[in-house]
Amino acid sequence: MAARAPFATGRARAPRRARGRSLLGEALAERLKAAALDVADDGIVISDATRPDAPIVYVSPSFERLVGYSAREILGTNCRMVQGPGTDLDTVRQIAIALSGGHVFQGEILNYRKDGTPFWNFLRIAPIRDETGKVTHYVGTQTDVTELHQARERQQELTTAVAHASRVRTVAALGASLAHEVNQPLAAVLANAEAALRLLESGKTGDVREALESIVADARRAGEIILRARRLVRNQPAQAEAVSPAQVASEVLAFVGTRVRHAGVKATLEGARSRACVRIDPVQLYQALLNLVVNAIEAMEAEPGHHPRGLAVRVEAIGERVRLRVADTGPGATDEDLARMFQTFHTTKSRGTGLGLLVTRSLVEAYGGRLEVARNAGRGLTFTIHLPGESR
Ligand SMILES: Cc1cc2nc3c(=O)[nH]c(=O)nc-3n(C[C@H](O)[C@H](O)[C@H](O)COP(=O)(O)O)c2cc1C
Ligand SMILES: Nc1ncnc2c1ncn2[C@@H]1O[C@H](COP(=O)(O)OP(=O)(O)OP(=O)(O)O)[C@@H](O)[C@H]1O
Ligand SMILES: [Mg+2]
């Protein structure tokens, strides 16, 4: 019984002749093939799968150029010679698994040239089988994608920097109300401390405990407000973890509490007890929601006239997904406004940067989610963050 053919046709078949793909005579075809391999930018390596540790039996000139080793130095060795200290072991393991299963491997791996310089290698390894379906060789093609990688990293850094700048601007915009927010517990601390002193002087030491407990609670509150602001301003790498959107939503509303009161906005949170959970960097979810909430407040504040100002935040789990909605009763938007809103630097505010919605959207999309906006039936807009949920 013959071994299984590559595509499991049941019966082993002789491989199709390459002749069918060429109109050239054999000698010319050979010459052109050699020339093609010579000019190709991608490296090509063939190794013998039937011998222990699959030694290399062919390298193209382009591979020699890519890695800086001569064919003489490479032939007979294993390709892992181009791996080094920064090579991801997980990727190496994936290659080994693919090869032992007779599958194609395709992926990026950090490799090193003879002179030690690293480069990102977009590597593809495919098995070649004989007529019985047995793997006899592997063909590897290598493409230097270092520049692409660097461009991607720069893009990533830029996105992080923009997100950070946008956070700093949001905190700055809340600056006055944050100072006010911190001032309140500080004033309470002072009043209670003075009361405690008076109690001590008058010998009523029994009541001092209560005053001291209030002091502790208020000092803690002030500390938390500052901690939250610092968390937003600090530039730290994103780290995803299991996060409760309900908790983030209630913290965001607490953070803008003073601002909301000053603007005469009635804020509500629905689904505060929701047990929904998402995998995300908590600071980034905080930022995304804060952007939408601050936008809603600013939109209502900027509107002339005396419309009732309402801000409704709602957290809900819909099947596998989690939805966070921010609805306002502000001026809303025309179709044109809606089209412009997500454009870079588009703002209608004297101090706006026009990055908030863009950053919010990219943060949400980075976690497999999406951001939607719709006009309300009554006044205002509703922004919705959709995120994949995570079971606890
Ligand atoms: C034809 C062929 C080409 C390969 N080319 C590369 C390469 O360019 N860079 C690399 O890091 N690994 C390459 N490998 C993978 C390594 O040779 C080796 O299979 C891998 O490190 C996993 O095996 P190991 O765990 O025994 O090291 C190639 C493998 C084959 C079969
Ligand atoms: N809830 C809303 N109601 C009406 N218009 C809105 C609302 N949210 C955003 N907009 C409009 O979209 C524009 C862009 O918002 P975005 O958050 O991207 O930037 P910004 O708030 O102007 O500045 P910043 O970068 O500081 O957030 C706003 O200037 C505003 O005109
Ligand atoms: Mg904004």
Q: What is the mean pLDDT of each run of 10 residues along the chain (392 residues)?
A: 39 48 82 82 94 95 95 96 97 97 97 97 97 96 95 88 87 81 90 94 89 93 86 84 96 90 95 94 93 95 90 95 97 95 91 90 93 96 96 68
Question: Which pLDDT score, from 0 to 100, does residue 51 have?
Answer: 96
Ligand 1 neighbourhood includes 60 CB (under 6 angstroms): no
**What pLDDT is recorded for position 40?**
80
Give the whole-angstrom CA distance, residue 183 versus residue 179. 6
The residue whose two tokens read 């980075």 is 366
* Separation CA 222–CA 184 (nearest Å): 8
Q: Given the structure tokens 């992080």, which residue do they identify? A: 160
Q: In what order do the strands lie in the sheet with 135-144?
A: 56-59, 43-48, 135-144, 118-129, 105-112
Closest CA to 330 of 356, 296, 305, 306: 296
Is there an atom of ligand 1 within 6 Å of 95 CB? Answer: yes
What CATH number labels 239-250+257-392?
3.30.565.10
pLDDT of residue 12: 43
What is the CB < 6 Å shell around ligand 2? 166, 169, 291, 295-296, 299, 328, 330-331, 333, 341, 346-349, 352-358, 381
165: tokens are 């700048």
Nearest CA to 15 out of 24, 23, 25, 7 is that of 7
* Residue ranges of domains in the chain: 32-144, 146-237, 239-250+257-392
The pLDDT, as a whole number, for residue 5 is 39
pLDDT at 380: 97
Residue 60 CB-half CA count within 13 A: 22
Nearest CA to ligand 1 atom 2: 140
Cα 237 to ligand 3 centroid, rounded to whole Å: 22
pLDDT of residue 392: 63
Residue 227 has what pLDDT?
Answer: 85
231-238 long-range Cβ contacts below 8 angstroms, 24+ apart? 231/283, 231/286, 232/167, 232/168, 232/170, 232/171, 232/283, 232/286, 232/287, 232/290, 233/167, 233/168, 233/171, 235/160, 235/164, 236/283, 237/160, 238/160, 238/281, 238/283, 238/284
Q: Which atom of ligand 1 is nearest to the CA of 96?
A: 22
> What is the best residue among 69, 78, 80, 123 to mutate for testing ligand 1's pocket, by most ligand atoms within 8 Å of CB?
80
Q: Whose CA is nearest to atom 29 of ligand 1?
A: 79
The best mutation among 166, 174, 347 to test binding of ligand 2, ranked by most ligand atoms within 8 Å of the C-beta, falls on 347
Architecture label for domain 32-144: 2-Layer Sandwich (3.30)
Residues 6+ apart with CB under 8 A from 269: 249, 250, 253, 313, 314, 315
Q: pTM of the predicted model, to two decimals?
A: 0.70
Assigned token pair, 136 = 């006899």
Judge whether 44 and 137 are in contact, CB under 8 Å: no
User: In terms of Cα–Cα distance, which of 315, 161, 291, 166 is closest to 238?
Assistant: 161
